[in-house]
A and B are shown apart, each in its own frame.
Chain A
């Protein structure tokens, strides 16, 4: 009796039990179900050479901004300005490329347009974060203000400088600039070359059909990889989780929670800028409505991926699974023409609700509530 100790009371879990308790398990299972269902329902068209490329294009778009939104949510804050930030960044880059750099600095190159825009968006991210941590106001309301503010500024700038709220027919900078090419060009061509060499990836005339993925696929992988590493394995990651879990406890232990939060608002601004840059250099166009509603998709995907609304818990890999799920369903209408595209929103609403309940259960379990 007396030689029993506290540690005897905790049963060692098997590997399998550990696996099914991982935060990304729910979104993983949903993703597998969707992949299989879509493959059969589309008669495998969704995963032929072109289908795969198109699906991954939208998955990567969602994935880039959802990663930023999830990291910020884990730290306990929201960013509703992501969509407007995308519009603003796209406008800024396209406008510089068409009308030249501001302050009479001459012609813009893709690189100068990108970095000047990035400086502005990171600055706005810093400003939003600073307002949130200094005022103690809810980030929901502060970023909602920036949602309107930046969308308005984007439209006004377009009208004043460009006389129209869209820019199309920019020259194809990918042909002359390696920098534009790594943002808007093709990547992982070897994948499709091998596919072709193995006898697939053929168009109707028997030539190679698709020659690579959109570059945003690579950027998504990079952003997910870096974010996953930072969140799980580094001091900064520990601080981000601690900030969202109990910020007073984190502060008392010397975690610089304000700097962590401001940094993450800058990270979501960075993700929005990458989203916009890939779009501008891919299509050579921009318009004032770009990125509309994207902040809500980003948050929804973060939640579907297992991120807690209350902060302190979530998985970058789970969010990647969420992006795959939502991206595939968003695109499903192109592969299954008989369904109405609006079902996508019905589906998203339903899994969002299911995910919120599932996440709440997880939270109760790890806080000892059940």
Chain B
């Protein structure tokens, strides 16, 4: 079996007295889509923010290709090949598509001057590659649709050489057609074979469509994990609901 590109061991993250993550293990392999599932507040976003260098873990260790690493800032994480598309997308609303695309990694010439034309061209081309023909890269992000913003954020992460592409609920705010567009994008990324995708979603069908491997979180802990083959269909549904039996939930619903 291939070695995981990214591996997490016993990761703990506390916010003051609150334990958001209580010892989480995770392995992600290149060329695979790893679905990270769990209820609201399970700690999914906290986990990936720790992987992305936004939060520092309270304890536990992150490994990249087997080597222990410490991320002090998002810069460290992105240098190690971790590209993150946050739930809130980390876009600056008042700024243009291009300026957002290159945020923090601007192309510059002498005196820190921006190579604006080149940047406009790249932003346009990269977004076209994953499915949106965006005519005006000087438009502000505040006026874009949810799907367009998602595309921008994904195109940005891929362009900047992400080896692990982390997508936090990329389909949640989108209409049907654009959801499928994002899933297609995920499949395209997977097909390249060199990128590992961590895909967070609440949508069982979406995860079934693209995931190779699953990890289920509940209340900050892993309650189940495995490859698609090793997990039965009901098992996935049960774990997604935080371990409760679907039948019980249906019964509870019926009683109301």
Contacts and interface: CB of A to CB of B under 8 A. Distances in A.
Interface stretch (B6-14, B89-97, B223-231): B89-97
A6 B74 contact: no
Q: Mostly helix, strand, loop or mixed at chain B's interface?
A: loop
A133 B84 CA distance: 25
Interface stretch (A252-260, A284-292, A348-356): A252-260
Interface stretch (B39-47, B139-147, B198-206, B237-245): B139-147
B70 interface: no
A234 B99 CA distance: 11
B187 interface: no
A238 B132 contact: no
Determine chain A's interface SS by DSSP, over half rule.
Answer: helix
A233 interface: yes
Interface stretch (A54-62, A191-199, A241-249, A318-326): A241-249
A21 to B, nearest CB: 11
B135 interface: yes
B105 interface: yes
A239 B93 CA distance: 14
Contact of B143 (A7, A236, A255, A366): A366
Interface string A342-370: 00000000000000000000010011100
Nearest to A7: B135
B111 interface: yes
- Which range holds the interface residue count of chain A? 20 to 34
Given A6-B132, A10-B135, A235-B108, A252 B94 contact: no
Given A233-B113, A252-B90, A255-B103, 4 more contacts: A246-B93, A254-B73, A313-B94, A367-B142
22 contacts: A7-B135, A12-B135, A233-B113, A233-B114, A235-B106, A238-B95, A238-B99, A242-B95, A242-B99, A249-B88, A249-B91, A251-B74, A253-B103, A253-B105, A255-B104, A312-B92, A366-B93, A366-B94, A367-B94, A367-B143, A368-B143, A368-B144
**Which 3 residue pairs are nearest across A and B when measured between Cβ atoms?**
A7-B135, A254-B104, A367-B142
